[in-house]
Amino acid sequence: MSSTSTTPAVALEATGLGKRYGRKAAPALDDCSFRLPAGRISALVGPNGAGKSTLLALAAGLLHPTAGTLRVLGAAPGELRDRVAYLGQNKPLYPQLTIADTLRMGAELNPSRWDAAYAARIVEEGALHPGQKIRGLSGGQRTRVALALALGKRPALMLLDEPMADLDPLARHDLMGTLMADAAEHGTTVLMSSHIVSELADVCDHLLLLGGGRIRLGGGIDDLLAAHTLVTGRGTAADLAPHTVVESRPAGRGLTALIRREGPVDPAWQTEEPSLEELLLAHLRSPDAPALLTPATTTAPLAVQA
């Protein structure tokens, strides 16, 4: 890797990335720049249509960007297909194949890295019979098979698009556990889009919030939480200067606001650290808030903002 020695290895690096579907449509991604350090489990969140699926498909080498560049594990997207796993939003699988044949296909198409025992174990944990046809499986069972196919190739980077959307809570918990154990054991980088915020807080240590085609918030979750404060008190949003007010709303006679601190907060305000859900909701509700990327997540040599 050609980056400086202090920077950790980078799994994903976007520079001015843009993708537009057709000339008249608004761009799905627009001048999007960020860096995802290797080994992180990153949540990709954003409102519907924010470009989450587009970003994941670009990284998987399924689409060409219309602008900018994207480096995946230091190479162009699609160059290291054997080391990148991708799970599409609708979990496509061949309906006419049995589970055993689906896994066999994984072995045949990933000859250098396939771990048959591991893939088989993931399927067996779901009480699925290898002879069953994919056609006859429920949505959640299909997700399990699709995940077994993705994990069986022992990827260095996993791109998961809404992986858990159609799983029951128990299966979701089990599969998340499998996924996270694998990631922790092998240092796999995971980038996963999801709407289930409570879940993300448990499993992810990194966050990329997409909005308007760009990263609005990016970095380690702890760092991001620490950079923000939830304040309550009497006063107006203007009184909170020089802090950046992400969102404020009236509460009783005063207001509650999520701020990005610039120095110490006036003790007249009651402060607490926001939860991840509060942080995300505040940013989703105020699309005009300035972007914040922690140093490890920016592509520029200098951090733009602290």
Partner 1 sequence: MSTATLTAPAPSRRASLRPRGLLWSVLRLHRTALWVWLAFVVATAGLLLWLTGPAAHDAQHQLETFGYAGVLKAASSSATFLSFTSGAYNDLFYDPDTLITLGGFAVALFAAGPLIGRELENGTAQLAWTQSVSPARWLAAKLAVPACFLVLGNGLLAALYRHLWNTHSNLLVAGIDPRSLYFSLGPATVVAPLLGLALGALIGLAVRRTLPALALSGFAYFLIYAFRGNHWPFQGRYTAPDPTSRSWAIDTSGATVPDPNCYTDRGCLAEHHIARFAREYLPSPDYWPRQLLETGVLLALTALAATAAFAVVRRRAT
Beta strands 254-260; 270-272: pairing state: unpaired
Dist CA 55 CA 46 (whole Å): 12
Binding test (CB under 8 A) with partner 1, winner from 31, 67, 68, 97: 97
Q: Which two tokens stand for residue 21?
A: 């579907």
Contact status: 108 vs partner 1 (CB under 8 A)? yes
How many chain residues interact with partner 1 (CB under 8 A)? 47
* Site stretch for partner 1 (CB under 8 A), options 27-35, 99-107, 233-241, 271-279: 99-107
Pick the piece of the chain touching partner 1 (CB under 8 A) from 17-25, 109-117, 175-183, 231-239: 109-117
d(CA 56, CA 137): 26
Among 30, 43, 54, 114, binds partner 1 (CB under 8 A): 114
Distance CA 132, CA 42 (A): 33
Ramachandran assignment for 50, one of left (phi > 0), alpha (psi -120 to 50 degrees), beta (any other): alpha
Question: Of these, 38, 120, 197, 203, which contacts partner 1 (CB under 8 A)?
Answer: 38
Kindly report the backbone phi and psi dihedral angles of residue 127, in degrees, each rounded to the nearest multiple of 5, phi listed first: 55, 40
**Residue choice 21, 49, 69, 109 for contact with partner 1 (CB under 8 A):** 109
Is 187 near partner 1 (CB under 8 A)? yes
Cα(84)–Cα(158) distance, integer angstroms: 6
Beta strand 84-87 with 29-37 is unpaired
Return the residue of 16, 53, 68, 113 that touches partner 1, per CB under 8 A.
113
Please tell me the distance from the alpha carbon of residue 75 to that of residue 92, in angstroms, as a whole number.
26
Structure token digits, residue 111: 């000859």
Structure tokens at 283: 């940013």
CB 227 within 8 A of CB 260: yes
Cα dist. 148→40, 122, 186, 205 in Å?
A: 21, 6, 16, 23
- Is 90 a binding residue for partner 1 by CB under 8 A? The answer is yes
Nearer to partner 1, 139 or 187 (CB): 187
Q: Which helix (H) or strand (E) holds 186?
A: helix 169-186
Measured from the CB of residue 294, what is the shortest distance to partner 1 in angstroms? 20
Q: Shortest Cβ distance from residue 184 to partner 1 (Å)? A: 12
Site string for partner 1, 285-304 (x = CB under 8 A): --------------------
Does residue 111 touch partner 1 according to CB under 8 A? yes
- Comparing CB distances to partner 1, the nearer of 60 and 179 is 60
Stretch touching partner 1 by CB under 8 A, among 42-50, 108-116, 255-263, 270-278: 108-116
Site residues, partner 1 (CB under 8 A): 1, 9, 38-39, 57, 60-64, 73-74, 76-79, 81-82, 84-86, 88, 90, 92-94, 96-97, 101, 104-115, 149, 153-154, 156, 186-187
